């Protein structure tokens, strides 16, 4: 299962989304994520779902990688959906003791499920189509005004990009440790819940040790290359806004207007 996780990986391609300025992609993602939580009826939810599907298809990344990114949270999605079935108000359509299912509960379950899936797919599209270096430059440029209040913009951007960069590496390291423990006869899948939690200790300890060692090696390598932060630092590739980025921002604005109109004209389902 660990080796199937694709979140945080970059897949080079020549799609339109790959060519967009990373600053524009981050702005559009933030606006889209906020928009997901502003869907209060099925029409608005359908608009968001269609836009998410369009983003996935336009990214040029195989759909199977998006399904891999959902594997890590599929259990959370299922549990959350089931719990929301029983939190609805109104007349019950099915009841057993104090447990009841209402139309409002079904609506809540559907909305929560679709919202979480759209959030994961849209976030995955950003990491799939933007390299860690581009993300660092974009975050630093967007947060540049905070330099006036002595906020460590470059350091924060570097830490975020390194975190995304090492997600696949840590997952690969975890898979290697699990395979090594299984080769030594460790039972990682048998027994009850408590036994499985105890079985994780031989995995977590070497993983933490390896992570700290990797972080120390990375810090040493950066010091050996005379890295001193963003002051006076040049970039091999400069980013700049183009016509397609403006069109993308306008498109997101139109989608926001469409969702707002759906919320105004159509009664809320929640």
Centre a 10 Å sphere on the Cβ of residue 96 and count the other Cβ atoms it contains. Answer: 8
pLDDT tens digits along 72-131? 788 888 888 888 888 777 777 877 777 788 888 888 899 999 999 999 999 989 989 988
Q: Where are the beta strands (DSSP E) in 156-248?
A: none
Q: Looking at the DSSP assignment, which residues form a beta bridge with residue 102?
A: 92
Which of 77, 44, 229 has the alpha carbon at shortest distance from 153? 229
pLDDT tens digits along 142-153? 888 888 888 888
pLDDT tens digits along 171-214? 788 888 888 888 888 777 777 777 777 878 888 888 889 888 98
Q: Residue 45: which pLDDT band, with cuts at 50, 70 and 90?
A: very high
Helix (H) or strand (E) holding 93: strand 92-96
HEC-encoded secondary structure of 32-65: HHHHHCCCCCHHHHHHHHHHHHHHHHHCCCCHHH
CA distance 94 to 74: 26
Q: Which residues of 8-21 are buried (b: 16+ CB within 10 A; e: fewer)?
A: bbbbeeeeebbebb
Three-point CA angle 150, 153, 154, nearest 5°: 125
Q: What is the pTM (predicted TM-score) of this model?
A: 0.79
């Amino acid at each position: 299962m660990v080796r199937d996780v694709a979140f945080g990986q970059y897949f080079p391609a020549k799609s339109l989304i790959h060519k967009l300025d990373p600053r524009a992609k981050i702005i559009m993602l933030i606006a889209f994520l906020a928009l997901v939580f502003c869907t209060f009826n099925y029409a608005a939810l359908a608009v968001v779902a269609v836009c998410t599907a369009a983003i996935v298809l336009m990214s040029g990344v195989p759909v199977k990688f998006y399904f891999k990114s959902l594997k890590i949270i599929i259990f959370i999605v299922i549990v959350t959906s089931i719990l929301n079935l029983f939190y609805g108000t109104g007349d019950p359509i099915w009841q057993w003791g104090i447990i009841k299912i209402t139309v409002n509960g079904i609506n809540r379950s559907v909305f929560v499920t679709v919202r979480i899936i759209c959030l994961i797919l849209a976030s995955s599209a950003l990491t799939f189509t933007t390299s860690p270096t581009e993300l660092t430059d974009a975050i630093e440029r967007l947060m540049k005004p905070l330099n006036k209040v002595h906020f460590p913009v470059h350091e924060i951007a570097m830490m975020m990009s390194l975190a995304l960069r090492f997600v696949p590496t840590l997952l690969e390291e975890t898979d290697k440790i699990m395979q090594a423990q299984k080769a030594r006869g460790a039972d990682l899948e048998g027994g009850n819940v408590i036994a499985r939690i105890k079985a994780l200790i031989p995995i977590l300890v070497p993983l933490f040790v390896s992570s700290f060692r990797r972080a120390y090696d990375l810090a040493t390598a950066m010091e050996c290359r005379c890295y001193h932060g963003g002051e006076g630092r040049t970039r091999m590739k400069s980013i700049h806004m183009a016509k397609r980025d403006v069109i993308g921002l306008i498109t997101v604005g139109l989608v926001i207007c469409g969702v707002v109109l759906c919320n105004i004209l159509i009664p809320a389902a929640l």
